Amino acid sequence: MYFNSKLPNDGTTIFTVMSNMAKEFGAVNLSQGFPDFEPDPYLLELATQYFYQGKNQYAQMTGVPLLRERLSEKFNGLYGIHLHEEDEITITAGGTQGIFTAISTLIRPGEEVIYFEPAYDSYRPAIELCGGIAKPIILEGPDYTIDWSLVRKMFSAQTKLIIINTPNNPTGRIWSANDMLNLQQVLSNTEVYLLSDEVYEHLIFDGKKHESILNYPELRARGFAVFSFGKTYHVTGWKIGYVVAPPLLTKEFRKVHQFNVFSVNTPLQYALADYMEDPGQYMKLNHFYEEKRDYFLALLSGTGLKPLSCEGTYFQCCDYSELSSENDIEFTKWLVKEVGIAAIPLSSFYHNPPNARIIRFCFAKKEETLALAGERLKRLRKLTQ
């Protein structure tokens, strides 16, 4: 029987493809973004405790109240704002579900969504499944700075939503306060909503500061902000995140959420709520990952891979044009098979990829994993001669 696919041009996501290839070829997996080390044993203890304390049935549709309270305290501490956990915070089954649900809440067929490429690969399919029209703005490497006059030109009468992502996956670049003010100005006097993917909020380096839409009242008033426990507490497999939005938007978001996942893993929400009592856990994440970034950068030196600036996230992009003129998909395949390192080709983050020679590595790995990768990368020059 012929199947008329709703996503005819999408295959399996590159993250799954590359992780599978890493296994197949025994490569060091620096492709899909996840830590290869364990979370804090105390967090695991809390989780186990709640399995045995009868917290094994459905949680509230909106999320465990204590966890939402803790999140409200967190943002009060970070930005001095007062979020009402009752009608402004919803716990989701990970950041990607939060993004998908926010897009489904807003987008009707024919409506346009502006976002910046390179972009996380879930945005466009989510828009298209709702019948929306994806309007990517291509940012040029190696700096990926935003040309605000171009952004203004992308707006039309059909524009319903703009998606932003800082710190950015895959580029590792962050938005400045000036970018936020420009965004605020572009959006003022429009009916356009905002979706802000802030899952890497705590992974930000060199003393720089994360710009959250929650810290800009005019942006916050029209926005869904998406966050992730997986990135913050090294538990990507728990698939728990949350979405912050004003009451009216949250109400509509929850209408969709309840028919999609209904509610999220109960015992783990209780564990996270207890664990969040200590804000020190997320406040020290920047140093933790900054060290890993610097360690990885040192390993890259002399390999022929030219690192781009990484201000945040756990991703390091590298230009490999000194080593090869092959396209990034071919180069990545060669790298996994012949060198034993799995990476992600940057073209996977574009609808119409430019001709850049750039790949992304994830450095959320144990020192020994990075060291092994470093050993293998030393052979790169010889192998490409």
- Least CB distance to ligand GLN at residue 20 (A): 11
Pick between residue 33 and residue 98 the one whose CB is nearest to ligand GLN: 33
Interaction between residue 13 and ligand GLN (CB under 6 A): yes
DSSP secondary structure letters along 169-229: TTT-----HHHHHHHHHHHTTS--EEEEE-TTTT-B-TT-----GGGSHHHHTTEEEEEEH
Pick between residue 15 and residue 334 the one whose CB is nearest to ligand GLN: 15
- Least CB distance to ligand GLN at residue 155 (A): 28
Pick between residue 32 and residue 316 the one whose CB is nearest to ligand GLN: 32
Q: Which segments of the chain are extended strands (E)?
A: 28-29, 89-92, 112-117, 133-138, 159-165, 193-197, 223-228, 241-244, 306-307, 315-319, 341-342, 344-345, 358-362
Please classify residue 11 by burial: count the beta carbons closer than 10 Å to its beta carbon, then call 0-12 exposed, 13-18 middle and 19+ buried.
exposed
Cα(302)–Cα(375) distance, integer angstroms? 12
Pick between residue 115 and residue 216 the one whose CB is nearest to ligand GLN: 115
The token pair at 34 is: 């996840």
Residue 279: cis peptide before it, omega within 30 degrees of 0: no
285 in helix, strand or coil?
A: helix
Please state, as a whole number, how many other Cβ atoms lie within 10 Å of the Cβ of residue 156.
10
Pick between residue 13 and residue 184 the one whose CB is nearest to ligand GLN: 13
Q: Which segments of 10-70 are extended strands (E)?
A: 28-29
Pick between residue 141 and residue 267 the one whose CB is nearest to ligand GLN: 141
- Least CB distance to ligand GLN at residue 347 (A): 14
| Main-chain phi, psi angles of 164, to 5 degrees | -125, 160
Interaction between residue 15 and ligand GLN (CB under 6 A): yes
**What is the footprint of ligand GLN within residues 32-71 (CB under 6 A)?**
32-33
Residues whose CB falls within 8 Å of the CB of residue 169, separated by 6 or more in sequence, listed in order: 33, 120, 197, 199, 200, 313, 315
Pick between residue 270 and residue 349 the one whose CB is nearest to ligand GLN: 349
Pick between residue 136 and residue 267 the one whose CB is nearest to ligand GLN: 136
Q: Which position has the token pair 């040309």?
A: 147
Pick between residue 104 and residue 171 the one whose CB is nearest to ligand GLN: 171
Size of site (CB under 6 A) for ligand GLN: 5
User: Which residue of 29, 62, 72, 169 would you call a contact of ligand GLN, by CB under 6 A?
Assistant: 169
Site pattern 293..312 for ligand GLN (x: CB under 6 A) = --------------------
- Least CB distance to ligand GLN at residue 284 (A): 22
Interaction between residue 20 and ligand GLN (CB under 6 A): no
Which among 98, 142, 105 has a CA at the least distance from the CA of 120? 98
- Least CB distance to ligand GLN at residue 33 (A): 3
- Least CB distance to ligand GLN at residue 332 (A): 13
Interaction between residue 347 and ligand GLN (CB under 6 A): no
Dihedral sign from CA coordinates of 99, 100, 105, 107: positive
| 126 to 104, 135, 151, 155, 201: CA distances (angstroms) | 8, 13, 21, 20, 22
Residue number, nearest CB to ligand GLN: 33
Q: Which residues pair with 226 in a beta bridge?
A: 197, 243
Q: Which position has the token pair 């620096």?
A: 30
- Least CB distance to ligand GLN at residue 172 (A): 12
- Least CB distance to ligand GLN at residue 324 (A): 23
Pick between residue 14 and residue 219 the one whose CB is nearest to ligand GLN: 14
Interaction between residue 155 and ligand GLN (CB under 6 A): no
Summarize as ranges the residues that interact with ligand GLN (CB under 6 A).
Answer: 13, 15, 32-33, 169
